[in-house]
Every structure is written in structure tokens, then in C-alpha cells.
Amino acid sequence: MIAPKTLKLSLKSLRDFAKKKLPDETLIELDERDECPIEIVRHMCDPDKLGIQLLLVPEEYGGMGGGAFDIYLVCEEMAHIDLGLATSVFATFLGSDPITVGATPEQKKLWLGRIAEEGILFAYGATEPEAGSDLGALRTTADRVMQDGRIVGYKINGNKQWISNGGIADAYSVLANTPAGPSWFVVERGVKGFTHDEPEDKHGIRLSNTAALAFNDVFVDADRLIGGVEGQGLTQAQAVFGYTRVMVAAFGLGAGWSALDRAVPYSTKRIQAGGPLSEKQGYTHKLIVPHVIHLEAARAYIEETAERIDAGNEGSLNTEGAIAKYMATEAGNAAAEASIQALGGYGYTHEYMVEKISRDVRITVIYEGTSEIMEMTISRDRWQLHLKTRGQYYHDEARKCETLHKSHPNVGADAAALALHALAEVMEKARIGRLTRHQHILLRLGEWIAYAECAGSLSRRAALMAESKLSEKSSRRFDATALAAMARVFAREAAFKVAEEGFRIVTGAGGVVESEMPSFEATLALPAIHRAQAGLISDMDEIADALYNRKTKEEQKAA
Ligand SMILES: Cc1cc2nc3c(=O)[nH]c(=O)nc-3n(C[C@H](O)[C@H](O)[C@H](O)COP(=O)(O)OP(=O)(O)OC[C@H]3O[C@@H](n4cnc5c(N)ncnc54)[C@H](O)[C@@H]3O)c2cc1C
């Protein structure tokens, strides 16, 4: 873990560098020219210059040994600057992840050492033309090359598609089928038979180089097989999902805030109908406030997950990583889209940046597992917990929120509990009616689970903040009062969503018949969830006041 002061300094150097070298005009020009600024990427990775790589390489290999929490903060900062550049820099970490988790000590020393000392760029080569979400359909092969009865190397044949840094990396982690199954190999730039295509002409992240790779009888020595044992590739890829999904979650957060950080000041200066847009509730409560709340709910979940990964005793937390990624990247996309609307016609032009951010952030719901794959991952995992606990898993989580509500009645934990109880009931109805045979229901459950868990998480963060117990590195964009108001609004939304949509879809799939509907409504506690919406608008007013640094109604009265 990096000391808070050191991390703060690194983040500040990054911000200062961006201010000097990457003003909006430069980013817009590069985006229009569809150009990856390779010298800037190299500068960011050079150990003698910005050396962002160093933050994330373990100390024993010459880095600073940053943990998941450090990585989340650096990724958010990078994405706030530019998501294409963030993708370029972090492709190296993605590319080196199979090495970090699965390589032999010699391989780690060589490759992680080179990343730290020379700032070499890596790429992560998993996706193929026929194998995207389903990596099991992998076609690239790595055939053993034998000499005197022992394996001396492998011949790699196949194609990889949409590889970040594909045209500029110095080394590539490549997933290929060996006789014993999928395995990772390190392939260096320039080896015979290995070529890459021209960069893709993309919708967004145009500052990032994305290219297809081709392997025609590419020979690599046996020591390029990561870990030295065939067939470990998918396990090695799985082992870092919690961590890498937190990285991409932070991308969604950074890009979403980058858009809102433009829309909010704009709305204070744009005068329409006699006053600034920021004073118009119909504007703030549709285009700004809900997105702030969703981003901060996702942040609460990211921070909890990163802390748990860093504590190191709960495995790789893949499902939590999936929830963090799903919520933060969906929130980032919605925030960027709303920011275009918030800037009206200006938002639709290149010059004001929000349309670029909106194009850029779109990738975060596609790469590192699409949103639909996240929904499936979340749902399948939590479904098992529901079955194992005989339907009690989310009732237990709800009871924890009820306990929290007793000590902290202002952080929305009561509504979070309603969301979690309703979730348990929807899952139980789905079990009884065998409704998850409908894939649509399985995936919708994934969404409701993510909302309900995030509601609990935001309530806990608001309570910790009220007690001044948040970790030193935690974000402090808002004070405890504003965070508590956000927790209340989000928990109400989660409860309403889970219960109302759950009722609709379970009923729609024939999970309840007419005569059972009143009792199903009662088990979902629909009347209580409706009553819990009281106070919603004044909480949103309070959040808008905090966002725009205005006096609240109470403060105005007192003054
Ligand atoms: C700019 C960019 C950079 C990238 N960088 C990298 C990189 O560095 N390394 C790398 O290995 N890959 C990279 N990728 C690839 C990326 O990870 C894949 O695009 C992604 O995993 C989705 O795969 P796919 O595009 O084949 O879509 P598909 O898997 O074909 O999915 C298409 C749609 O169908 C949905 N879908 C898929 N399966 C199911 C299912 N079972 N049930 C229901 N719905 C389903 C998906 O959610 C999606 O909406 C990059 C892609 C892009 C565009």
C-alpha cells in the first residue's frame, strides 16, 4: 500500500502534468485526428518522469506496491483527464496481471522489473474475432515444439481483436490454447510472424491505440509460458477480475465526474428565463443530482470493495468487482449523456468536451466484461448464496441495515433494509416459480442485486463519514450531511426499483397468479416502500445546495 501523503503527491503531479500538457484544446485535436499521443503515454510510464507504472508494480520488483484502493484513485484521476490515455496506461497493468498472479519468480523479476525500470508498455491479448464475452471459444493455438523429448518452446497461430496498445506495446500477454488448455504467453514486439493491423477507427477513446494482432507460426521459448504450467490461463484471468473490474469501475467514476464537473459550473453561468440554470429545480433534479447520487453510490461500493481486496483475506472478490464495475460504468455513461443535455446545443459540439467524454465512457460498459455479462455474473453468484442460506442471505443483510438505522437514523439504512428484504422475497418467488430459466429474469436480478447492495454500502459510508471514521484516502467530495442525504435518496430508489420492477417481472413471467398478488405485495412491503419516499424532494434540494455551495433552506431561514 502507498502512504497517503505519497499517493496525494503522485495524484497532484498527474493533475499538474495534465493541466500543462493536456488542455481541452489538445485533447480535442488528438480526438479529431484519431491519434494516440505515444510520447505522452511513454512520459506517463517513464520511471524518471511521471512513472505511473511504479505506483502499481510490487515493491520487490522495483515499484511502489500500490493496492486496490490506490489503483482506484489513480484510475479515477486518469479517467477524469482522458479515458483513452487512461486505457493506454492501464493496458500495461491488465497485460501484466497474468504475470503478477501466475508467473514464476524469474518471470516476475524479468517482466515486472522491466515495467518498473524501463517503463515498457504491455498489451492484454484475450479477445478474438469469434471469442468475446465467451473466451471459451478461443481459437488461437500454441503448439508444443519438442526437442529430445522435452518442450523447448511453442508455436502460436491465430488472431486477436481490439487489443488496447495493440500497435504500440513492447510486450503482449497472449491467451492461447495449449494441449492442456488456455494458457498465457509473453510475446515481444518484433518477433518473426507477429504483426498488428492499423489502429481501429473508433466511436470513442480515440487517444488510445486499439489494434488487431496476427500470429503466424510465432515461436516463443518455453519460458514465455506464464507460470510454466499449461492450462492455467482462465484461472489466472479469473484471479484478478475483482481488482481489474475495480479499475474499470474507477474509469466510469472518473469520466462521469469529468462530465459533471463541466456541467455544474456551466449551469451557474448560463442564464435562461431570468436566472441561472443551476437555480431551476426541474433542471438540477433531472440532469445533475440523480447522476451525482449514482456516481457516489458506486464510489461507496468501489471503496468498500477495494478495502476488502487490500485486506487480503476474502479471495479475489470477483462478484463485488462486477457490482462496482456495473454500477460505476452505467452511472458514468448516464452522467455523461445527461451532461450533453445540460449544456444544450453547446453540449452537442466538440468544443465543450462533454460529447467526447460521452463517446469515451461508452467503452467502459463493453470492455473488461459487458454490462450484461456483469449482470449475469452477479446474479449467478448471489443466486447460489440465496440457495445456500435457504433464502436468508439478503434478509440477513437487511437486518444489518436495520441495526445501522438504530444508531444512524439519517443515512437511509431503513430504506436500504426494505430494498434488501424485497430482494430476498423476489429471489424466493423466482426460485419457487423456477423463473431464472428466463435469462431476462436472471439478468434483471443482477441489476436489482447491484442496486440493493450499493444502497447498503452508501448508508454504511455515510455513517462512517458522520463518525469521522472513513479511511484517510477516501474521497471527500461531499460532507457527511450531503452524503447522508444521497444515501437516503439512493436507498429509496433501490427499494422502489427492486420491489416495483421485481413485482412487474415476476408477475409478467407467471410467478404469481391473481389471487396471490395481495400477499406478494405485502411480502415485498410495497406500502412501506411507498411511505419511505416521503422527504425525497427536500433531500434532493439539500444535495443540490451542497453541490452548488448554497445555503440550505434552514440556513437561509436562520440567516
Ligand atoms: C476499444 C476496445 C478496447 C478493447 N481492449 C481490449 C484489450 O485490451 N484486450 C482484450 O482482450 N480485449 C479488449 N477489448 C475487447 C472487449 O473486451 C470485448 O469487446 C468485450 O469483452 C465484448 O466482446 P464482444 O465485443 O465480442 O461482444 P459479444 O460477446 O459478441 O457481445 C455482444 C453483445 O451481446 C451481449 N452478450 C454476449 N454474450 C451474452 C450472453 N451469453 N447472454 C446475453 N447477452 C450476451 C453482450 O453483453 C453485448 O451486448 C476491447 C474492445 C474495444 C472495443
Q: What are the tens digits of pLDDT across the range 71-119?
A: 999 999 999 999 999 999 989 999 999 999 999 999 999 999 999 999 9
What letter does residue 225 receive in the DSSP assignment?
B
- The 10s digit of each residue's pLDDT in 362-413 is 999 999 999 999 999 999 999 999 999 999 999 999 999 999 999 999 999 9
Task: State percent of the chain over pLDDT 70.
Answer: 99
To the query of whether residue 32 is one of the catalytic residues in this protein, the response is no
- Tens-digit pLDDT profile for residues 184-212: 999 999 999 999 999 999 999 999 999 99
Q: Whose CA is nearest to atom 25 of ligand 1?
A: 132
- Mention every residue, 6+ apart, whose C-beta is less than 8 A from residue 60: none
Whether 554 shows a pLDDT value over 80: the answer reads: no
Query: 493-497: long-range contacts (C-beta < 8 A, 24 or more apart)?
Result: 493/293, 493/451, 493/455, 494/415, 494/416, 494/419, 494/451, 494/452, 494/454, 494/455, 495/415, 495/416, 495/418, 495/419, 495/422, 495/455, 495/529, 495/532, 496/529, 496/533, 497/419, 497/448, 497/451
CB 285 within 8 A of CB 267: no
**How many angstroms does the Cα of residue 208 sit away from the middle of ligand 1?**
17
pLDDT at 485 over 80: yes
Please report the pLDDT score of residue 558 as a whole number: 76
Minimum CA distance residue for ligand 1 atom 52: 162
Band of pLDDT at residue 557, cut at 50, 70 and 90: confident
Mean pLDDT of 49-69: 92
List pocket residues of ligand 1, CB cut-off 6 Å. 91, 124-127, 132-133, 162-164, 202, 205, 210, 363, 366-367, 370, 372-373
Smallest CA separation from ligand 1 atom 17, residue? 367
What pLDDT, in 10s, does the model give residues 487-526? Answer: 999 999 999 999 999 999 999 999 999 999 999 999 999 9
- C-alpha distances (whole Å) from 168 to each of 14, 92, 94, 132, 244 are 22, 11, 15, 22, 21
Q: How far apart are CA 472 and CA 199, in angstroms?
A: 41
What's the CA gap between 50 and 56, in Å, rounded?
13
Contact at 8 Å (CB) between 398 and 424? Answer: yes
Name the 3-class secondary structure at 176.
strand
Indicate which residue of 368, 375, 447, 542 is catalytic: 368
Please report the pLDDT score of residue 409 as a whole number.
98
Choose which residue among 127, 245, 371 to substitute to test ligand 1 binding: the one with the highest number of ligand atoms within 8 A of its C-beta. 127
- What residues contact residue 191 under an 8 Å CB cut-off, 6+ apart? 218, 219, 220
Give the tens place of pLDDT for each residue, 429-449: 999 999 999 999 999 999 999
